[in-house]
Amino acid sequence: MPSENIRGNETDIPVQISGFSDLDDSEKAAINKIIVNYIKRYKEITLNMQRFELHLKKIHAQEKSEKYQIDAKLRDSGKVYGASLVGRHLLTAVDEVLKKIEHEISK
């Protein structure tokens, strides 16, 4: 699956997202906004954030009952924080998995 990077003014770390190429532009924009907002939060609570990765996998692609697996990974000063989640609502699942990463960092 091709991957995309979020660049420019939004983040100053490498952000790699993969598995999102089949989504429409409005879903991609919403996910991009969620990611950027969480990265801003992560910057406040990490020492030296180096890389962020987010991967989407459809595990059940039947119309009106899709299930998504979201995997996230954040590298900070040699530590790796990871979270995974399966959910039916894509935007909610992305938000929840990023919230899990934030919780892991805060421990």
| Domains defined along the chain, listed by start | 3-106 (3.30.160.100)
C-beta of residue 32 within 8 angstroms of C-beta of residue 6: yes
What average pLDDT does the structure give for the chain?
A: 88
| Whether pLDDT at 21 is above 70 | yes
| Whether pLDDT at 6 is above 70 | no
Pick the closest to residue 53 from 23, 93, 80 (CA basis).
80
Q: What is the mean pLDDT of residues 54-66?
A: 84
Query: Distances from the Cα of 19 to the Cαs of 24, 49, 78, in angstroms?
Result: 12, 23, 26
Question: What single-letter amino acid sits at 63?
Answer: E
The distance from CA 57 to its chain's CA centroid, rounded to whole angstroms, is 12
**In terms of pTM, does the model score above 0.75?**
yes
